[in-house]
Amino acid sequence: MTEHSESTHRHASPTTGTYLVVAGVLTVITLVEVGVFYVPAFQAILAPVLIVLSAAKFALVVMFYMNLRHDHLIFRGVFLLPLVIALAVVVALLILFGAFA
């Protein structure tokens, strides 16, 4: 490819339908979070399930609504690395204080 064609080559923006599907998935994940909270059988694994569901919602919002899927890899790292660090700290604190015992 020539330099001109590479610079003008852009990724297609997601359609309105894509945004609506992602919004629907986010809504379903939120409903699952609320459901897990109120079901007594899930009380033993409540914290890990909510952490995983929240991380999934974070990733969806960052990748679709912030359009990081098409940006440079460093921008993904700026958002995902703090998530991994925060998740590790939360899990370490849960283990330290016996939330999984």
pLDDT on residue 7: 46
Rg of the chain, C-alpha, whole Å: 18
Q: Is residue 6 part of a domain?
A: no
26 vs 29: CA distance, rounded Å: 5
- Nearest Cα to 65, choosing from 5, 13, 2, 30? 13
Domain containing 91 equals 11-96
**Total structural domains within the chain:** 1
Structure tokens at 30: 């939120």
Q: Is residue 1 part of a domain?
A: no
pLDDT on residue 28: 96
Low-confidence residues of the chain: pLDDT under 70? 1-12, 69, 99-101
Q: Is residue 39 part of a domain?
A: yes
pLDDT on residue 29: 96
Q: Is residue 101 part of a domain?
A: no
pLDDT on residue 91: 84
61 vs 19: CA distance, rounded Å: 10
